[in-house]
Amino acid sequence: MSEGLIFDIKKYAINDGPGIRTTVFFKGCPLRCPWCHNPEGQSFLPEVMVRPSRCVAGCRECVAACKPGALSMAQDAPVLDKLKCDLCARCASVCPAGAIEIVGRRVGAAEVIAEIERDRVFYEESGGGVTFSGGEPLAQVDFLAELLDACRARAIHTTVDTCGYAPPEAASMVANSADLFLFDLKIMDEKKHDAVTGQPNGVILENLGRLVRLGQKVVIRLPLIAGVNDDAANIRETAAFLRGLGALTEVSLLPYHALGRDKHRGLRKKSRSGGLSAPSLDRLSEIKRDLEADGFRVRLGE
């Protein structure tokens, strides 16, 4: 069996597909959305996350354990020099408060499947299963395909949560292996999509169309950020595109939340989320009403 890079396995998830689910988070994403709530999933390499708010006052265990000298203390909080860090994980292993974490680890498919199977009783009772999220799972398509095939052989329901930005052959490779796709659509205008997320959206729309033509079950997710993509023109163009595909009926509206900001600080990454906010409740209601008028079943906040 092959190996892949993940950064978390979350148990008892209820917002990543039907029923109670185990969500496997793949590490690495080609987009750089300013509102990303999993910024630790963007890099294709392991990283160190430092959360000073969890530190125990006066504790210097991590500094003492760091042989490369990448950690120092400032105002009772560890400061990481990324250039010196060799990701040995000694700091994380001695931290008594979980203030330091190595984000990203290589795992074999067999290890992931064993973890998934431990929760089978919850899937059977709730109609749940496993969701492969990220990051972007299609960026590690060989690993994803192996996990999907293994789950199918065990009659475990599978969901792929994707931004859709991947080579067409990657989407085709797993199209018939997953039971459900949760597919993000962010901005319809290609130039604006490129400016905001770092990539154009042509291949995203192409991959969505391919999944629909192949008869796959797809739920569209619209992350909504005030002043970025909640305008009437973007919603109108999104609805028109989805209607043109013919077979899509379900849309989930995901208002922006700021859960990723603390993670950006922990990774010492510059965040572009300053000033971002969710649309007003009135605007969300308008969007929901407009999409329902176009014939879609719309859920808010899932």
pLDDT at 302: 60
Mean pLDDT, residues 30-40 taken together: 94
pTM of the model: 0.93
- Please state the φ and ψ torsions of residue 137, each to the nearest 5 degrees: -65, -30
One-letter amino acid at 231 equals D
Residue with tokens 């007003």: 280
Please check whether residue 265 is in contact with residue 219, taking contact to mean a CB–CB distance below 8 angstroms: no
Q: What is the DSSP letter of 275?
A: T
pLDDT band at 33 (very low <50, low <70, confident <90, very high): very high
Q: Which two tokens stand for residue 177?
A: 């292996």
Q: What is the CATH number of domain 47-103?
A: 3.30.70.20
Q: What is the CATH number of domain 3-44+106-300?
A: 3.20.20.70
How many angstroms separate the Cα of 22 from the Cα of each of 15, 178, 211, 216? Answer: 11, 15, 23, 21
Give dist(CA 246, CA 63) in Å, integer: 58
Residue with tokens 């988070």: 25
Residue closest to 161 by CA, chosen among 16, 13, 8, 14 = 16
Mean pLDDT, residues 16-20 taken together: 94
3-state SS string over 2-64?
Answer: CEEEEEEEEEEECCCCCCCEEEEEECCCCCCCCCCCCHHHCCCCCEEEECHHHCCCCCCHHHH
Give dist(CA 271, CA 265) in Å, integer: 8
- Interval 118-156: pLDDT, tens: 999 999 999 999 999 999 999 999 999 999 999 999 999
- Domain range list for the chain: 3-44+106-300, 47-103
Q: Which two tokens stand for residue 201?
A: 């959206």
- Interval 157-183: pLDDT, tens: 999 999 999 999 999 999 999 999 999
Mean pLDDT, residues 200-217 taken together: 96
Give dist(CA 197, CA 168) in Å, integer: 19
pLDDT at 263: 82
Please check whether residue 4 is in contact with residue 139, taking contact to mean a CB–CB distance below 8 angstroms: no
Give percent of the chain with pLDDT exceeding 90. 81
Instruction: Tell me the pLDDT of the chain averaged across its residues.
Output: 94
Give percent of the chain with pLDDT exceeding 70. 99
Give dist(CA 13, CA 23) in Å, integer: 7
